């Protein structure tokens, strides 16, 4: 009886957190309406539709990255379920604290049949992979911006490409995973994967960042501002990932906009309008995807097959499913 009450309380708390997170999404839109409203009156619809599509496909790409990460580490789930867990969990990034999206994703995956430790550890690996991919994309875009007459230091950013590739080498990843296992007292244990497999995860998420950059370029075009596309795309990716790394700030609010204004090469007013509209699109994708994800996670049944590979390399089956 006590366990049933605890489960009911936890379920109610989860719903309350989800409602609060959606409310904070809407508050983000209201707070930024003073810059969004005037910009909307002069937008070109076709460019905004393109920007919205790029934003949505980009976010789905990050969900697929987590799905591929789960498969790489031996857990097979339905792509639809994993995508639902991803978007529902991402609502948590609008809450203060920076850990709620990890907790949301991990708990939803656990309820779907994934081991809790495995759900959390692969979430962290997918976060690391997407950050490294963002650095590599920035390393490719910055020299293009420098060639066009902006970001004079952009050629130096080219070093991010080899550094990003080296960051997922087993000699680097191995000690990190061992340290995580010790810090968590064995709760989060993952085997070291071949360099090629880890590079595959990173390269898979690279198109996501190209799409995020393209979304900001499309918003800039929708507002009729002159731009250097490579520089605007670079600023968008750098702003997104730096906002993500600002863990205590819910959804990187304010941090992303400031970084974009500094790096985009646009005047402060136009840059602020572009940053606000680009965030509006991403918030809309998060809100819609999160609501659909919560509905799907609540209604879906089963569909998880575990074959977890521990650090020693020996295979161990942990359940089954369709």
Q: Which of 24-28, 138-142, 155-159 has the highest mean pLDDT?
A: 138-142
Angle between helices 268-299 and 79-90 (to 10 degrees): 130
pLDDT attached to residue 217: 94
The mean pLDDT value for 284-303 works out to 77
Query: At residue 289, does pLDDT exceed 60?
Result: yes
Query: At residue 322, does pLDDT exceed 50?
Result: no
pLDDT attached to residue 112: 77
pLDDT bracket for residue 209 (50, 70, 90): very high
pLDDT bracket for residue 212 (50, 70, 90): very high
C-alpha–C-alpha distance, residues 54 and 48, integer Å? 10
pLDDT bracket for residue 35 (50, 70, 90): low
pLDDT attached to residue 31: 65
Cβ neighbours for 64, distance < 8 A, ≥ 6 positions apart: 79, 82, 83, 204
**pLDDT greater at residue 41 or residue 287:** 287
Percentage of the chain lying above the pLDDT 90 cut: 16
Lowest mean pLDDT across 56-65, 180-189, 298-307? 298-307
Domain boundaries, the chain: 47-204+281-317
- Of the candidates 61, 65, 174, the one whose C-alpha atom is nearest the C-alpha of residue 129 is 65
Percentage of the chain lying above the pLDDT 70 cut: 73
pLDDT bracket for residue 301 (50, 70, 90): low
pLDDT attached to residue 60: 92
pLDDT bracket for residue 306 (50, 70, 90): very low
* Strand order from edge to edge, sheet including 75-77: 75-77, 304-308, 316-317
Query: At residue 213, does pLDDT exceed 90?
Result: yes
pLDDT attached to residue 179: 81
SS3 208: helix
Query: At residue 249, does pLDDT exceed 80?
Result: no
C-alpha–C-alpha distance, residues 177 and 56, integer Å? 32
pLDDT bracket for residue 281 (50, 70, 90): confident
Residues 160-171: pLDDT tens digits? 888 888 888 888
How far the first Cα of the chain sits from its last, in Å, is: 31
Query: At residue 107, does pLDDT exceed 50?
Result: yes
pLDDT attached to residue 67: 92
pLDDT attached to residue 309: 46
**pLDDT greater at residue 26 or residue 197:** 197
Residues 66-101: pLDDT tens digits? 999 888 888 888 888 889 888 888 877 766 555 667
Cβ neighbours for 303, distance < 8 A, ≥ 6 positions apart: 77, 78, 81, 112, 113, 321, 322
Lowest mean pLDDT across 32-41, 110-119, 136-145, 254-263? 32-41
CA 222 to chain centre: 25
Query: At residue 265, does pLDDT exceed 90?
Result: no
pLDDT attached to residue 147: 79
Instruction: Compute the mean pLDDT over every residue in the chain, rounded to the nearest whole number.
Output: 76
C-alpha–C-alpha distance, residues 63 and 314, integer Å? 28
């Amino acid at each position: 009886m006590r366990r049933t009450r605890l489960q009911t309380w936890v379920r109610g708390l989860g719903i309350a957190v989800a409602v609060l997170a959606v409310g904070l999404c809407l508050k983000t839109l209201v707070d930024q309406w003073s810059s969004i409203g005037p910009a909307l009156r002069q937008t070109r619809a076709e460019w905004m539709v393109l920007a919205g599509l790029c934003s949505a496909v980009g976010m789905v790409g990050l969900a697929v990255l987590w799905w591929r990460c789960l498969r790489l580490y031996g857990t097979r789930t339905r792509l639809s379920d994993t995508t639902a867990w991803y978007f529902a969990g991402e609502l948590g990034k609008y809450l203060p604290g920076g850990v709620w999206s990890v907790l949301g994703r991990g708990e939803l995956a656990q309820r779907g049949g994934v081991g809790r430790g495995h759900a959390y550890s692969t979430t962290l690996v997918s976060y690391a992979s997407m950050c490294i991919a963002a650095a590599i994309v920035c390393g490719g875009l910055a020299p293009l911006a420098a060639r066009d007459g902006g970001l004079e230091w952009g050629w130096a950013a080219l070093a991010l490409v080899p550094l990003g590739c080296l960051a997922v080498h087993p000699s680097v990843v191995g000690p990190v995973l061992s340290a995580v296992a010790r810090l968590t007292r064995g709760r989060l244990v993952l085997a070291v994967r071949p360099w090629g497999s880890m590079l595959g995860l990173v390269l898979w998420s690279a198109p996501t960042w190209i799409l995020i950059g393209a979304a900001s370029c499309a918003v800039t075009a929708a507002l009729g501002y002159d731009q250097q596309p490579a520089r605007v795309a670079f600023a968008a990716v750098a702003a997104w990932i730096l906002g993500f790394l600002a863990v205590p700030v819910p959804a990187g609010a304010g941090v992303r906009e400031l970084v974009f204004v500094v790096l985009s090469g646009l005047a402060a007013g136009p840059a602020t309008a572009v940053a606000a509209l680009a965030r509006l699109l991403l918030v809309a994708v998060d809100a819609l995807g999160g609501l659909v994800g919560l509905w799907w996670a609540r209604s879906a049944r089963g569909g998880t097959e575990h074959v977890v590979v521990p650090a020693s390399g020996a295979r161990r089956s942990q359940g089954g499913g369709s």
